[in-house]
Amino acid sequence: MSRYFLLLLALTGCASGLATSPRSPESGPTVTFLHFNDIYEITPVAGGASGGLARFATIRRELVASSSTVITTLGGDYLSPSAMGLAVVDGQRLAGRQMVATLNAVGVDWAVLGNHEFDLRESEFRQRLSESRFRIVASNVTDSAGNRFHGTVRNGIMRVPTRRGELRIGMIGLTINSNRPAWVRFEDPMVAARREIAEFGDSVDAIVALTHLTLAQDQLLAEALPAITVILGGHEHENHVVRRGPRFTPIIKADANVRTVAVVTLTWPSGGAAPLVQSNLRVLDSAIAESPDVGREVAEWVARSDAAYRAEGLEPGAAVATIDEPLDGREAVVRTRPGPLTALIAEALRREVPGADVGVMNGGSIRIDDVIPAGVVTQYDVIRILPFGGNVVETTMTGSLLDRVLTQGEANRGSGGYLHAAGAAREGTRWLVGGVPIDRARTYRVATTDFLLTGRETGLDWLKPGNPDLGPVQPHRDIRVAVIEMLRSR
């Protein structure tokens, strides 16, 4: 911590690191926030062309050297989904351990929880919190009993001494409730925000809302609570810089996987006026050198996870194919409509089973929640898309059962149980296979995933061995191997 400034958490009685550097006496009091959100990969993405936490660390250090006070904030979604996080090392899933260790090395100060943090098992989640050296502000999230998770705070006040006196900046954190395991309780974000802001009263010079909400929710927050100085958000994966509400409160989000980061400054003019908020997006590309120490941290985790996947017969760094169009694996797409990625996977299933009439897979098996850009696709990209793996399986279904499966899959639109099919299409109210209506009395050969035949998917509890309309189940290779070969064949 610099000898020029000190960060204290007044409401929690805890200390947290704050990066600082000297400033000229002519300039006014300024605090800089370096903000990023939705970080799933510790390494660069897009074939190494974009992002990377070692590059982010370089940006941070440069900013610290040129700015008075720098606070590094994370807008949620960092523990999951991650292919590396599902690697089994020393008998346990990494489950975000690699991410927390790297974020600690980077020097993150504050984070808010994202919806994907709750993909983890409760024990894994609590362990990651205990490993975190950064503070986590969770104004609307508790455990199921209403108690704060250890390592989180409802709010905080950052005290920043300046040559003109002490600045006090209030921090609140709000999380969307789209992922609700039984061990978590969510409060309405607006209700929680109102309470925390009221608790601050007149004791702060600015209020920062660190959020993982939809843009629409952030806009409502800005419109209803003009006391908020700036909203530093996440969740959308694409950058947004907009102003909403009676005071045109800035809402600022960066691109996922630190493709961009937001540099946000709060400057207090003389006379006690509200701070001026300015922001710019910094693109992280291969022109930015990697921080050596963070680079070593990243390399260590990559080596450990790669070894785990090699033990499963995969070679993460190997190039598979070059694609001409992006493969969109965002949840908002794969759980609501077909697209090039889901068509590719469903066809890979059908190709894996010779003579299969239909290939069927669920959108929820795609966990990347990101876009693979046009260009080289590696095996690690495929692992990111389908981190849980599992076997392709062959079975038979009567036309009656197949029709029922496809109809339920369509009814599951918006959830992980939304089904994608190769070889089948809907025409009005009926399903076609091979271009002709399903014959309910005929038997069809179907390629699908082992998970879909467990009866655990939404509305498909009857789709499991013992159903008289379902034939014997024969396993084939890992679904990721099938997809890799499909990509190579194109």
In tens, the pLDDT along 366-388 reads: 988 788 989 999 999 999 999 88
- For helices 479-489 and 340-352, the axis angle rounded to 10 degrees is 100
Q: In this structure, are 73 and 213 located in the same domain? A: yes
Does 3 reside within a domain? no
Q: In this structure, are 162 and 279 located in the same domain? A: yes
Residues 27, 9 contacting (CB under 8 angstroms): no
Residues 60, 107 contacting (CB under 8 angstroms): yes
Helix (H/G/I), strand (E/B), else coil: 326: coil
CB burial of residue 325 (10 Å; 0-12, 13-18, 19+): exposed
Mean pLDDT, residues 351-360? 98
Instruction: Give the amino acid at 212.
Output: H
User: pLDDT tens digits, residue range 408-444?
Assistant: 999 999 989 999 999 999 999 999 999 999 999 999 9
Residues 463, 455 contacting (CB under 8 angstroms): yes
What confidence category does residue 475 fall into, taking pLDDT thresholds of 50, 70 and 90?
very high
Q: What is the pLDDT of residue 264?
A: 98
Query: Residue 387 sits in a domain of what CATH number?
Result: 3.90.780.10
Residues 268, 275 contacting (CB under 8 angstroms): yes
Q: Is the pLDDT of residue 333 over 90?
A: yes
Residues 18, 69 contacting (CB under 8 angstroms): yes
CB burial of residue 144 (10 Å; 0-12, 13-18, 19+): exposed
Q: What is the pLDDT of residue 22?
A: 40
Q: Which of 242, 266, 295 is the last residue of a domain?
A: 295
Q: What is the pLDDT of residue 5?
A: 33
Q: In this structure, are 372 and 440 located in the same domain? A: yes
Q: Across all residues in the chain, what is the average pLDDT?
A: 92
Q: What is the pLDDT of residue 265?
A: 96
Higher-confidence residue: 346 or 5?
346
Residues 278, 268 contacting (CB under 8 angstroms): no
Q: How many domains does the chain have?
A: 2
> Which residue's entry shows tokens 């699908």?
448
Q: Which of 233, 265, 295 is the last residue of a domain?
A: 295
User: pLDDT tens digits, residue range 71-129?
Assistant: 999 999 999 988 899 999 999 999 999 999 999 999 999 999 999 999 999 999 999 99
What confidence category does residue 68 fall into, taking pLDDT thresholds of 50, 70 and 90?
confident
User: pLDDT tens digits, residue range 296-323?
Assistant: 999 999 999 999 999 988 899 899 999 9
Does 330 reside within a domain? yes
Q: Bridge-partner residues for 437, per DSSP?
A: 432
Instruction: Give the amino acid at 478.
Output: D
Q: In this structure, are 65 and 151 located in the same domain? A: yes
Q: Bridge-partner residues for 203, per DSSP?
A: none
DSSP 406-447: HHHHHHTTTSTT-EEEESEEEETTEEEETTEE--TTSEEEEE
Q: In this structure, are 276 and 361 located in the same domain? A: no
Q: In this structure, are 183 and 39 located in the same domain? A: yes
Does 302 reside within a domain? no
- As a whole number of Å, the CA-based R_g of the chain is 25
Does 283 reside within a domain? yes
Q: In this structure, are 253 and 383 located in the same domain? A: no
Does 1 reside within a domain? no
Q: Sign of the C-alpha dihedral, residues 129, 130, 133, 137?
A: positive
> Which residue's entry shows tokens 């605090």?
31
Q: What is the pLDDT of residue 12?
A: 36
DSSP 142-194: EETTSPPPTTEESEEEEEEEETTEEEEEEEEEEE--SS--TTEEE--HHHHHH
Q: In this structure, are 351 and 247 located in the same domain? A: no
> How far apart, in Å, are the Cα atoms of 159 and each of 5, 22, 378?
9, 17, 46
Does 308 reside within a domain? no
Q: What is the pLDDT of residue 436?
A: 97
Q: In this structure, are 148 and 275 located in the same domain? A: yes
Q: In this structure, are 230 and 111 located in the same domain? A: yes
Q: Is the pLDDT of residue 20 over 80?
A: no
Q: Is the pLDDT of residue 6 over 60?
A: no
What confidence category does residue 2 fall into, taking pLDDT thresholds of 50, 70 and 90?
very low
Domain extent for 187: 8-295
Does 127 reside within a domain? yes
Q: In this structure, are 328 and 261 located in the same domain? A: no
Q: What is the pLDDT of residue 448?
A: 98
Q: Which of 295, 323, 346 is the last residue of a domain?
A: 295
Higher-confidence residue: 388 or 402?
402
Higher-confidence residue: 68 or 445?
445
Of 4-13, 182-191, 192-201, least confident by mean pLDDT is 4-13
Q: What is the pLDDT of residue 14?
A: 37
User: CB-based contacts of 92: which residues, under 8 Å, 6+ apart?
Assistant: none
Nearest to 313 by CA among 383, 376, 246, 250: 383
> Which residue's entry shows tokens 């050596």?
292
Mean pLDDT, residues 255-282? 92
Instruction: Give the amino acid at 169.
Output: I
Q: In this structure, are 252 and 351 located in the same domain? A: no
Fill in the DSSP letter of residue 453: G
Helix (H/G/I), strand (E/B), else coil: 471: coil
Q: Bridge-partner residues for 249, per DSSP?
A: 244
Q: Is the pLDDT of residue 15 over 70?
A: no
Q: Is the pLDDT of residue 31 over 50?
A: yes
Query: Residue 240 sits in a domain of what CATH number?
Result: 3.60.21.10
Residues 397, 469 contacting (CB under 8 angstroms): yes
Q: Is the pLDDT of residue 211 over 70?
A: yes
Instruction: Give the amino acid at 454.
Output: T
**Measured at the alpha carbon of residue 17, what is the angle toward residues 16 and 20, in degrees to the nearest 5?**
140
Does 455 reside within a domain? yes
Mean pLDDT, residues 192-218? 97
Of 262-266, 321-325, 331-335, least confident by mean pLDDT is 331-335
